[in-house]
Amino acid sequence: MQTFYFTDPGKVRSHNEDSVTIINNDKSEFVLAIADGMGGHKAGEVASMIAINHIRDSFYKLDTLGTKEEAIEWLRLIVKEINEKIFDYAKEHPESKGLGTTLVIAIKTNDYILYGNIGDSSGFVIKNNTLHKVTKDHTYVSMLLSNGRLTEENAKNHPGKNLLTRALGANNPIEIDIFDIDTSVKGLFLCSDGLTNMLTEEQIEKILNSDLEVEEAVIKLIRKANSRGGTDNISIAYLKKESGEL
C-alpha cells in the first residue's frame, strides 16, 4: 500500500487553515482525512486541527475498527464529538466566533471501504484508471444543481459556489453523509477545494494515471494548482493499492 499526504498554503492565503492525515494500525486498517477550516483570527486552523487530532486520538484508542456497521457508528460518534469540541472552543474564545471546518474521511480495511463527508472537501476513488467522485458537496450551488435550478455550466462561476450549507461548528446537531464503496477500487484520493477549484477532474486523473510514485503525484498536483493561481490552501491524501493487494 502506498500512501502520502501533504498540505500547502497556496499562493494567496497568508496561513494554512487545512489539516490532513493518513493513519493506520497493525490490522491493515487505514483512515485518511482532510479538514478545511474557516473563520477569522486563525480560528479555521484551530477547527481543522481539532477535527484531525480527535480522529487520530480516537483511532489509536481502538484495537480495531471492527465490522462495517461498527465503523459507521464510529464515524458518526467522532463527528458528534468533534462538533461539540468546536462549539466548546467557540464559547471559551468569543473572538473565534464563526470558526468551523469541512471534513472528508475515508476508511479502508481488508473487508470494506467507507467514505464520509461534511462540507465541500472531496473524496474520490480510482477504478479502471478513471477518477470517480464519491462525495457530494454541501454547498448552496450543489443544492441549486440538485433541484434543477442551476446548470453545470452556470455553477462554475456562481457567486455562491463556496457557500456551505453544512459544516462542523456551524450546524448542531450535525450529520455526516456516509458512502459504502466497492473494495475493488485501486486508489483512494481526498482533497480540499483548493485543488478542485484550480484543476479539473480530468487533469487530476491524468497525473494520478502517470508513472509517478504516490508522493511525486501529490506534489505535482499541488505545484500545478499553485501555477494556476493557488487561490486557497491545498491539501491531498492519497492511498494507492499495489498490484495484488486487497
CATH number at residue 48: 3.60.40.10
CA dist 87 and 66 (Å) reads 29
pLDDT score of 129 more than 80: yes
Confidence class for position 30, pLDDT limits 50, 70, 90: very high
What pLDDT score does 139 carry?
84
- As a whole number, mean pLDDT of residues 128-137 equals 95
- As a whole number, mean pLDDT of residues 141-150 equals 65
- As a whole number, mean pLDDT of residues 41-55 equals 92
Give CA angle at 59 (116, 127), nearest 5°. 40
What pLDDT score does 40 carry?
66
CB 183 within 8 Å of CB 113: yes
> Pick the residue with more confidence: 233 or 147?
233
pLDDT score of 14 more than 70: yes
- Is residue 223, in this structure, part of any structural domain at all? yes
Q: What is the mean pLDDT of the chain?
A: 92
- Is residue 157, in this structure, part of any structural domain at all? no
For the whole model, what pTM was predicted? 0.94
Domain count across the chain = 1
What pLDDT score does 244 carry?
58
- Is residue 155, in this structure, part of any structural domain at all? no
- Is residue 233, in this structure, part of any structural domain at all? yes
- Residue listed under C-alpha cell 441549486: 144
pLDDT score of 156 more than 90: no
Confidence class for position 240, pLDDT limits 50, 70, 90: very high
> Pick the residue with more confidence: 63 or 148?
63
- Is residue 67, in this structure, part of any structural domain at all? yes
CA dist 5 and 209 (Å) reads 17
- Is residue 139, in this structure, part of any structural domain at all? no
Question: What is the extent of the structural domain holding 125?
Answer: 2-133+164-240
pLDDT score of 151 more than 60: no
Q: What is the pLDDT of residues 188-235, one digit of tens each?
A: 999 999 999 999 999 999 999 999 999 999 999 999 999 999 999 999
- Is residue 116, in this structure, part of any structural domain at all? yes
